[in-house]
Amino acid sequence: MSFRQNLNHELSKLFNGLWDADVNRFTPGKDYRISLQGKAGYVPSRNNNAKDSAPQPLFLYVDEERLRSVKTFAAFVSLLDNYEMSTGVVEVVTPEEITENNRFLDVILETEVMKITHQYLLQKNLAKPSLPDFKKQLYTIWFQLYSRDGSRGSDSCGFEHVFIGESKRGKEIMGLHNWVQFYLQEKRNNIDYKGYVARQYKSRPDEDDQVLNLQFSWKEMVKPVGSSFIGVSPEFEFAIFTIIFLLSQDKVTKEVVRIEEYELQIIVYRQGRFIGTAYPILLSSNNEDLY
């Protein structure tokens, strides 16, 4: 059976519009270079032993000047040190961190990507016309703290899980689906890229693919399969994950979309009124047939 039978054409059209509007996206081969190297081996869940099929880092080069000069990237990077890594440890949010969260939302809301997103959600009656009200909605969805592992304290939020990553009491990697965080952690020798995870329909991805399935260790914990957009702006990821979250009240929403040459399944988990996790899975690229 082809995945295309389940392709969401409305969201595909919308997300291609967001892709075209994403002027802050980094270009492979120009703004960054990656080295896929070998295919990752199978690692059972909770097993932190993994063959290293990639002696080099994933990222060979990233234009850090552009990371610093593009407002949305700069505001995004300022958030990456604001959270405790391990669940079960209550998060303490300082006034400075609240200011950084609001600054990030302010700058992404200035982008065409988020303007298109707001208009679409208005048409669906899923957002209010007022920009301050929409910003509050985004803040609640992404930055409101909650308990992830059932402890009494608030130890997690959607932003931390998806964009920064966290560990399940120091034993298991959760989240970390953002390429900038991956690059910065790899640069600090906290992440060891183990190799690409092959898709069922293609033995090897291309090094200019902007969606990848990867295996890596982070502070000695192995993530058997992690998936991430590569090079896209934070506002692009914020937009598509927010849209899918708001379109459904299901605990888990899975939408198959086609963005440029990539056929993806976008998965969003709901944690009550908040995002639990969200990530893409690459199904095919370069017009491959999915049978």
Give per-residue pLDDT as tens, 1-19: 344 558 999 999 999 999 9
161 is catalytic: yes
136 is catalytic: no
Name the residue with higher pLDDT: 115 or 166.
115
Instruction: Please state, for a pLDDT cut of 90, what percent of the chain lies above it.
Output: 54
Q: Which of 13, 71, 124, 177 is catalytic?
A: 177
Take residue 46 and report the two structure tokens written for it: 């909770």
Q: Which of 71, 223, 251, 254 is catalytic?
A: 223
CB 209 within 8 A of CB 84: no
Provide the pLDDT for residue 259.
94
Of 210, 236, 240, 212, nearest to 226 by C-alpha is 212
Average predicted confidence (pLDDT) for the chain: 86
pTM (predicted TM-score): 0.90
Provide the pLDDT for residue 90.
55
9 is catalytic: no
| 3-state helix vs strand vs coil in the chain, percent to 5 | 35, 25, 40
Provide the pLDDT for residue 207.
85
- Written as one letter, the residue type at 37 is Q
- Written as one letter, the residue type at 161 is H
Q: Where are the domains of the chain?
A: 3-284
pLDDT band at 116 (very low <50, low <70, confident <90, very high): very high
Give per-residue pLDDT as tens, 80-102: 886 555 554 555 677 788 899 99
Q: Which of 161, 168, 194, 251 is catalytic?
A: 161
Provide the pLDDT for residue 82.
62
